[in-house]
Structure 1
């Protein structure tokens, strides 16, 4: 490809911006595209950038946008005028599973004990995590459902970042913390906190921790990131983009980029990704309604 435009619907420095610039770097390094421009349009969980992208890029095969699971929730919570149905999904690129941690001296050691505490008195179990309606909140709500607890009874305290949530956990201000593994990695490795469970479908090499699934709770949640193309492009143009991104994802340069940034390769494209995306939107719509965040 000669030209490619990538919109990062967030401010410079964040996860979507890093994703866009990693794509730019690897495509150039691998000679898969030559003239690659990254543009940042921040605001409202990516929905402001998404609306601009849809409105001005229809039919443009050189236009792409990065996004992810946060955007799915933001579209629903903000009743955004455009949705992911208005773009052309290309591929899921990376993902990060969510971990639930507790202070090392907590009386709660596993998912069943956490569920029992919530069943006895949901309000007494405080959860510290990211923004209301975000992936951490959704994962906590899904756990409540799996534990036969009303998600609306969840005592969830949103923090602006993993660092603030971690301070609350270490200070004993909350019962458990919930966030992406990378936010808590150093404290987990130092033994300052213990992992109750991870939301992956199977155990992960990078952390010695049980999954919710193996403890009897059907939970599979990842904060995934994707790339999508403009609306109204041809099947041939979509395939060209898909082939380019797939080749990038299989390169050594991409593997190195992921390792450097601590990202997990969860690549998925084609009809499989479209099906996955539809399922994520349906499930997220349901849980946000159950949490009282959307209608």
Structure 2
């Protein structure tokens, strides 16, 4: 028994140390509950905890202005704290530009791109629009009569609506786009017929599509997507393809060691069975990219988004 005691104590010590040193995180979703950022933050919460990568993960929502209100709060209040993370992505890139935000992604510590998701166009089941051709017909006849319900101004949804208009010969600046701060609000407006067409990531509409409440008239992928019964925009006669992406970032002011530790936890998460199941269940593509490669890609995405927003008249 005496010989076993040191071994038992050692094992107990390992168990205790792994519990003590499991990182606790607070993840900000800079949007209202129900949307893609909120879903991403809560999916991270689930995977980090289920895989025992983190002892405790809390999610907070700070909606407004395409994530720039939350971004400013995060940069100002979380600096130097490796336990705090923020979810963002393509939408935030556009919102920073359209809102002329004084706080930009240059002021956070990018950790990784996590997911990609195609844009879906939906109408209420009772709508007289049956397909992309029907939407295009209405848009050409009177652009202002077609109201588009989606996420924040200047985000992926807004950009996609502008690109669709441009592709069919309609002035993108005449698009009647109605921005909502959260996916739940947008969904209620679409289901209630307060807007003509809804535009967002497929995952935000999936359950209502399957329930027959919404009609899916197009998906923004280059090619057909397995498991999604809808034509691409291109198959519907509109030459547009676009993919939204989401990322996670840490605050400014982290040491190289802190940044590496956060990055290692995120890498464990994205490679875990829990995360891969979440991606499959939600129809999200695994677009994981980290480190210097992600920072370089982020810069390219910011530059290309600026060009697109100028083209569709959202940024001068």
TM-score per shorter chain, which class?
A: 0.7 to 0.9
Within the candidate set 4, 19, 22, 1:2 is matched to 22
Change (3 A) 1:229 1:164: same
Q: Which residue of 2 aligns with 1:268?
A: 288
Report the alpha carbon displacement of residue 99 of structure 1 after superposing the two structures with TM: 1.4
Q: Which residue of 2 aligns with 1:219?
A: 241
Verify the 8 A CA contact 1:101 1:197 in the aligned structure 2.
Answer: yes
Report the alpha carbon displacement of residue 198 of structure 1 after superposing the two structures with TM: 0.6
Task: Supply the distance in 1 between the matched residues of 2:277 and 2:218 (Cα, whole angstroms).
Answer: 28
Task: Supply the distance in 1 between the matched residues of 2:55 and 2:208 (Cα, whole angstroms).
Answer: 41
Deviation string, structure 1 residues 2-33 (Cα, Å, up to 9, x no partner): 33433314467444344334323322332323
Question: Within the alignment, does 1:162 sit opposite 2:187 as a pair?
Answer: yes
> What is the number of equivalent residue pairs in this alignment?
287
Unaligned runs of 5+ in 2: 1-20
Question: Within the alignment, does 1:22 sit opposite 2:47 as a pair?
Answer: no
Verify the 8 A CA contact 2:209 2:216 in the aligned structure 1.
Answer: yes
Q: Which residue of 2 aligns with 1:243?
A: 264
Change (3 A) 1:57 1:220: same
Task: Supply the distance in 2 between the matched residues of 1:74 and 1:44 (Cα, whole angstroms).
Answer: 7
Report the alpha carbon displacement of residue 138 of structure 1 after superposing the two structures with TM: 1.7
Question: Within the alignment, does 1:57 sit opposite 2:69 as a pair?
Answer: no
Change (3 A) 1:79 1:107: closer
Give the structure-1-normalised TM-score: 0.78
SS of the counterpart of 2:269? helix
Unaligned runs of 5+ in 1: none
| More off after superposition, 136-145 vs 22-31 | 22-31
Deviation string, structure 1 residues 228-257 (Cα, Å, up to 9, x no partner): 122243445433322321221121122334
Within the candidate set 268, 276, 280, 1:255 is matched to 276
Task: Supply the distance in 1 between the matched residues of 2:211 and 2:286 (Cα, whole angstroms).
Answer: 27
Verify the 8 A CA contact 1:163 1:183 in the aligned structure 2.
Answer: no
SS of the counterpart of 1:136? helix
Change (3 A) 1:101 1:49: closer
| Larger Cα-atom Rg | 2
Change (3 A) 1:156 1:31: closer
Q: Which residue of 1 aligns with 2:94?
A: 73
- CA RMSD of superposed structures (Å): 3.3
Report the alpha carbon displacement of residue 285 of structure 1 after superposing the two structures with TM: 2.8
Report the alpha carbon displacement of residue 259 of structure 1 after superposing the two structures with TM: 5.0
Task: Supply the distance in 1 between the matched residues of 2:23 and 2:305 (Cα, whole angstroms).
Answer: 35
Give the structure-2-normalised TM-score: 0.74
Deviation string, structure 1 residues 149-170 (Cα, Å, up to 9, x no partner): 321122334564122123328x
Verify the 8 A CA contact 2:113 2:294 in the aligned structure 1.
Answer: yes
